[in-house]
A and B are shown apart, each in its own frame.
Chain A
Amino acid sequence: MAKAPARPSAPPVPNRERPNEPAPFQATKEELLDFYQHMLLIRRFEEKAGQLYGLGFIGGFCHLYIGQEAVAVGLQSALDGEKDSVITGYRDHGHMLAYGIDPKVIMAELTGRAAGISKGKGGSMHMFSTEHKFYGGHGIVGAQVSLGTGLAFKHKYSNDGGVCLAYFGDGAANQGQVYESFNMAELWKLPIIYVIENNQYAMGTSVNRASAEDQLYRRGESFRIPGIQVDGMDVLACRGAAEEALAWVRAGKGPIILEMKTYRYRGHSMSDPAKYRSRDEVQAVRDKSDPIEHVKRLLEEQGVKEDELKSVEQAIRKQVNEAADFAEQTPEPEAGELYTDILVESY
């Protein structure tokens, strides 16, 4: 009988190393209170911005962050402010407030005033704070993914120990340049956390109507970039995921993806009537999963009194009202500003 030729069996493919499943962050009472304050500031700020828009003080596009507060606050609280950089798209107010940037200069930018953080020349979608290593504020869907990969390139090139946190939405996750960037980031082991803020609607198109693979945390698989899906309505889960992702990246293992499952309560922008989803759907999320209510309950469990929370709330309302008053009254840019900041040098 003829012997079958010996066929060496292929060695089993070792499983690639994966990050651990992140554990929820164990916050102290002070940390929890801090999360609460930041999230509430974003909420009240955005509500006020919506109001000012309705009154005609804010023009153009204005994308509110209401509902998504836990993501920016939870993730950015884990960063090293001296080293790490952040970049995002046009829904950027929350990320700046999470950094503790003065609400006055943000609101004044929304109203297009000289005192705005971009001297009134950027507007809602184009705000930056190089002091905080916050690199915008970019209006073209997906552009910040390549730019953020460039910031990560800088961290590695300069060996400065920094990590870039690059936020983008579920809509941007279908842009070609995202995958071009994934490829280079993994190829060059760049220190970057890609944060997909999946608020489930790219303007009016739901994720599953636009994405063949709607589990967006898997979008890095063919580039060998691991992904973690995170409850983006839970600030402790967000912070816990950030810790895990930072450990991965800081260990030199290259990029990682965090898909934050979140929800925006308002329309895509102020001019969006949001007919693509029911009022009930929005209300259900508000009732069951509101990120701020969640932290409030935790604080109450830890024995924080109702009136203590009230005074926090009052202080924030006051701060936001002052920001709004400032933004309404502070002057518009001088006409000469039209011609400044186009080029740095004179030729």
Chain B
Amino acid sequence: MAIQIKMPALSPTMEEGTLAKWLVKEGDQVKSGDIMAEIETDKATMEFEAVDEGTVSRIVVAEGTDNVKVGTVILELTGEGEEPVATGEGKSEMEAPRIEQGEAADQKTEATPEPKQAETGARQMFEAAKNDATVADPEVPEGTEMVRVTVREALRDAMAEEMRADDRIFVMGEEVAQYQGAYKVTQGLLDEFGDRRVIDTPITEYGFAGVGTGAAMGGLKPIVEFMTFNFAMQAIDHIINSAAKTNYMSGGQMRCPIVFRGPNGAASRVGAQHSQNYGPWYASVPGLIVIAPYDAQDAKGLLKAAIRSEDPVVFLENELLYGRTFEIPKLDDWVLPIGKARIMKPGKDVTVVSYSIGVGLALEAAETLAGEGIDAEVIDLRTLRPLDRKTVLESLKKTNRMVVVEEGWPTCSIASEIAAFVMEEGFDDLDAPVLRVTDEDTPLPYAANLEKLALISADKIVAAVKKVTYKA
């Protein structure tokens, strides 16, 4: 009875991976705990261990195969005391989705349990960021070729391009060098720039945030990566008290051109301490620039702008978006302006303002709404400080209704800030109160069902839009 081994899901949001290397060959005996293969996900290369004992009867998916979907049969084992199935001269080829049900049943194949994607409330946000919605692009010269890259690659390319141009720029953080980045964002940088400029630090956020800030004061241009912004709480003193305020306190003498970057916001099923949006925290601090891009072209263009800035920048990425692919114009030097929002989708009935991962949901909701005859304009703030009030107010002037979407808590949020200035400066343009669609006002729970309840969704946005357009 053959045992089918399937492509495992090695992270809650993994959909496919590369079968990098087989460490067993047909005819080998394996026992539980043996490492059978190396599987590359978009984050890391993982070793895949055997759980069952038996003889490798057939390697179904050859090594080096990309985009192997989770659940695809990759290897067959023959259980103990059985005749190995003839393997056709050790032929191993990519015949992946060969799980014809009937045949498998006939052969009395015992399937390992189907690897299932872990349930997560973050999936709705992750799925929405597939970018199948049409979005308006920033201005690019006509005829520019578009290439598809992930947000992760866009961020890496931004750093690499800037580092090539300016020796003062260096990257420091936990696992940024030899490990190639905890989320692989710094992949390849060590090879290109060496350990003088790509520096692994001990796990001491407070200390290395201070070291980076001091180096910036001394005249360098550091990029400090936090493995996640949750850990930057240990370093927030240096971000605010040292980096943000010193130029002012010195009457303009002390520069601090530094970028603090890393993933921010809810990831998937990691619980309350690892799931938090710090956008509003940093955006309330004078002296900081705060950027939170959504797609790859903004990630690249704004990170390059952040690195070039003479001011301290907090650059908030999103783990769920790292692996998402978007189109990006193939230009030598793609730099975007800081402090400018982007109209992702023009519309006339209602303005939906969001940033970071909320933009994907806003676009999804806009599509649903279009089907119901409501034409929503979707604005991506991109920069949280300084906020582009002008773009928001001009849109309001056109639509007279507004919903703000934020993957974060409602209290003292970017959404509250927008509601406040829209009331102050756009009161006469409002035909309905501004509504906020935010995460629930609770720590983020672990349980999948509760997590889902806590996070924003396209449905919640649709409902809010219907309310402000009086279609509910």
A203: min CB distance to chain B, Å: 19
Q: Are B241 and A143 in contact (CB under 8 A)?
A: yes
> B212 at the A/B interface (Cβ < 8 Å)?
yes
Query: Among A140, A145, A179, A344, which residue has its beta carbon within 8 angstroms of that of B241?
Result: A140
A140 to B244, CA, bound (A): 14
Q: Are B337 and A347 in contact (CB under 8 A)?
A: yes
Residue of B nearest to A114 (CB): B251
A140 to B386, CA, bound (A): 26
Query: Among A85, A136, A146, which residue has its beta carbon within 8 angstroms of that of B211?
Result: A146
A74: min CB distance to chain B, Å: 24
Q: Are B215 and A180 in contact (CB under 8 A)?
A: no
> B252 at the A/B interface (Cβ < 8 Å)?
yes
Query: Among A126, A147, A157, which residue has its beta carbon within 8 angstroms of that of B249?
Result: A126
B1: min CB distance to chain A, Å: 52
Q: Are A147 and B251 in contact (CB under 8 A)?
A: no
Tell which of B34-42, B201-209, B463-471 binds the partner.
B201-209
> A269 at the A/B interface (Cβ < 8 Å)?
no
> B339 at the A/B interface (Cβ < 8 Å)?
yes
Q: Are B196 and A118 in contact (CB under 8 A)?
A: no
A87 to B338, CA, bound (A): 32
Q: Are A153 and B242 in contact (CB under 8 A)?
A: no
A343 to B311, CA, bound (A): 6
B309: which A residues are within 8 A, CB to CB? 344-345
Q: Are A128 and B250 in contact (CB under 8 A)?
A: yes
Q: Interface size class for chain B?
A: 35 or more
For window 329-353 of chain B, which residues contact chain A by CB distance below 8 Å?
A: 337-339
Q: Are B214 and A87 in contact (CB under 8 A)?
A: yes
Residue of A nearest to B220 (CB): A154
Known: A118-B250, A341-B251, A342-B287. A177 touches B210 (CB 8 A): yes
> B170 at the A/B interface (Cβ < 8 Å)?
yes
Q: Are B206 and A180 in contact (CB under 8 A)?
A: yes
Residue of A nearest to B205 (CB): A180
B442: min CB distance to chain A, Å: 30
A78 to B248, CA, bound (A): 31
Q: Are B250 and A153 in contact (CB under 8 A)?
A: no
Tell which of A181-189, A243-251, A308-316 binds the partner.
A181-189
> B20 at the A/B interface (Cβ < 8 Å)?
no
Residue of A nearest to B339 (CB): A347
Interface string of A108-143 (1 = CB under 8 A from B): 000000001111111100111110000111111001
> B158 at the A/B interface (Cβ < 8 Å)?
no
For window 14-59 of chain A, which residues contact chain B by CB distance below 8 Å?
A: none
Query: Among A146, A152, A155, A187, which residue has its beta carbon within 8 angstroms of that of B238?
Result: A146
B337: which A residues are within 8 A, CB to CB? 347
Interface string of B207-250 (1 = CB under 8 A from A): 11111111111111000000000000000011001100011111
Known: A146-B211, A151-B217. A344 touches B254 (CB 8 A): no
Query: Among B237, B249, B310, B386, which residue has its beta carbon within 8 angstroms of that of A344?
Result: B310
> A340 at the A/B interface (Cβ < 8 Å)?
yes
For window 55-84 of chain A, which residues contact chain B by CB distance below 8 Å?
A: none
Interface string of B445-465 (1 = CB under 8 A from A): 000000000000000000000
B210: which A residues are within 8 A, CB to CB? 143, 145-147, 149-150, 177, 180-181
Query: Among A85, A130, A138, A155, which residue has its beta carbon within 8 angstroms of that of B242?
Result: A138
A340 to B253, CA, bound (A): 12
- Report the number of A-B residue pairs with Cβ-Cβ less than 8 Å: 160
A344 to B253, CA, bound (A): 10
A345: which B residues are within 8 A, CB to CB? 309-311
Q: Are A184 and B249 in contact (CB under 8 A)?
A: no
A344 to B386, CA, bound (A): 13
Q: Are B211 and A184 in contact (CB under 8 A)?
A: yes
Q: Are A347 and B202 in contact (CB under 8 A)?
A: no
A110 to B207, CA, bound (A): 30
> A148 at the A/B interface (Cβ < 8 Å)?
yes
Known: A153-B215, A157-B196. A129 touches B206 (CB 8 A): no
Known: A118-B249, A150-B212. A157 touches B311 (CB 8 A): no
Residue of B nearest to A139 (CB): B241
A145 to B251, CA, bound (A): 22
B80: min CB distance to chain A, Å: 43
B286: which A residues are within 8 A, CB to CB? 342
> A336 at the A/B interface (Cβ < 8 Å)?
no
> A176 at the A/B interface (Cβ < 8 Å)?
yes
Query: Among B209, B246, B254, B338, which residue has its beta carbon within 8 angstroms of that of A146?
Result: B209
Known: A116-B251, A118-B251. A154 touches B215 (CB 8 A): yes
> B318 at the A/B interface (Cβ < 8 Å)?
no
> B383 at the A/B interface (Cβ < 8 Å)?
yes
Known: A139-B241, A143-B241. A181 touches B251 (CB 8 A): no
A207 to B249, CA, bound (A): 31
A116: which B residues are within 8 A, CB to CB? 251
Q: Are A150 and B311 in contact (CB under 8 A)?
A: no
Q: Beyond A149-B207, A347-B289: 9 further Cβ-contacts under 8 Å?
A: A128-B250, A139-B241, A146-B213, A150-B213, A157-B215, A180-B204, A181-B210, A344-B247, A347-B383
Footprint of B on A, CB under 8 Å?
85, 87, 116-123, 126-130, 135-140, 143, 145-155, 157-158, 176-177, 179-181, 183-184, 187, 340-345, 347
Closest 6 A/B residue pairs (Cβ)? A150-B214, A146-B210, A180-B207, A119-B251, A154-B218, A347-B339
**6 A/B residue pairs, CB under 8 Å, sorted by A:** A157-B170, A158-B220, A176-B206, A179-B207, A183-B202, A342-B286
